[in-house]
Amino acid sequence: MLCSPTQAVCPSLGTFIRQGIAGDQKGNVCMHFNKRIMITGGCGFLGSHLCERLVEQGHEVLCVDNCFTGSKRNVRHLLEYPNFEFIRHDITFPLYVEVNEIYNMACPASPIHYQFDPVQTTKTSVHGAINMLGLAKRVKAKILQASTSEIYGDPEVHPQPESYWGRVNPIGLRSCYDEGKRCAETLFFDYHRQHRLRIKVARIFNTYGPRMHPNDGRVVSNFIVQALKDEPITIYGEGNQTRSFCYVDDLVEGLIRLMNTPDDFTGPVNLGNPGEFTILELAQKVIDLTGSKSTLVFKDLPQDDPRQRKPDIDLAQKALDWQPTIVLEQGLSKTILYFEQLLKELKVKNAQDAPHLHN
């Protein structure tokens, strides 16, 4: 949990912060910020949790987001902290700042969002990577790429180790995201080989938790919102396809541990929960935990939807001393509480806006 803004760095002294230095009202320095860290996509689901954790650790955090899919609401509680700063910016354009580390998290990650403007999605992955790598090269920063399990496509190897090259359709509806992320990995390793840039690459598997977008089309948020509204739960295909679900707190811990590894460890490294569930099993867990009256409806499987997804996390366990600790039921319960509150807020807002619509 974050303490109050006045206690964020040194509670006993009632600190203030100037240029990355904390001190008391007499100007006595009590500590320096460890690092100045930039997080692209910092207003998104994963990015906002990462911002929060790094602010809590006392780092100076620069959140960069164009807020296409991310929301300033996700970092609103951080704006009053003196070691947090927000810049609205699209990383397909260059950015000139001074930082020690970069977490490149920016890119629409759900099919609904990344298929809305597929050309821009590819630009975000490719041009965005080039711009952030260029920045890292100029300021000699260490940089982490938030890659994805989608680079494995519809896998023929199960579970998926980092050595697996994947099975991806290069011209399908999902290709703007899948191939964009694959190209970004190529760029990261070419910058590492050619310019000796310090890089880290994380392949992130399905992650869930508070601050997921309620309308992003992802399976966990979809099921929870539908269940809380007692609406039919939409299953694509027969529901036998499998996924592995990692709670956001575990994922953030993995990212930070990866960033803090020695420079000779680049990854890629899988970050995800190896617990494997069918989509039908997930739907039933959500119904049970919400006490919903929802029924199941079945629709055609989308193009190139993977049949199975499960990370091999042996490398993460050995190199990062990391593995998930939060079981699915526990994480779902926390996520359901978040969506319950969010739906209540939206209901109140809609009720307040309704009279204006008739004026």
**Do residues 292 and 257 touch, judged by C-beta distance below 8 A?**
no
- The single-letter code of the amino acid at 79 is L
**Do residues 268 and 203 touch, judged by C-beta distance below 8 A?**
yes
**Of all helices (H) and strands (E), which one includes residue 40?**
strand 36-40
- What is the token pair recorded at 137? 């090269």
Q: Does residue 96 have an active-site annotation?
A: no
What span, in angstroms and rounded, lies between the C-alpha atoms of 164 and 156? 9
What span, in angstroms and rounded, lies between the C-alpha atoms of 156 and 272? 19
What span, in angstroms and rounded, lies between the C-alpha atoms of 271 and 147? 10
Could you identify the residue written with the tokens 């977490």? 103
What is each CA distance from 210 to 107, 213, 214, 224, 342, in whole angstroms? 19, 9, 10, 11, 10
What span, in angstroms and rounded, lies between the C-alpha atoms of 279 and 297? 12
Tell me whether strands 199-204 and 296-299 are parallel, antiparallel or unpaired. Answer: unpaired
What span, in angstroms and rounded, lies between the C-alpha atoms of 249 and 330? 12
What span, in angstroms and rounded, lies between the C-alpha atoms of 32 and 149? 37
81, 103, 177, 191: the active-site residue? 177
Helix intervals (H) in 156-269:
175-195, 219-228, 248-259
Angle, CA of 100, 104 and 89, to the nearest 5°: 95
**Active centre residues (catalytic):** 177
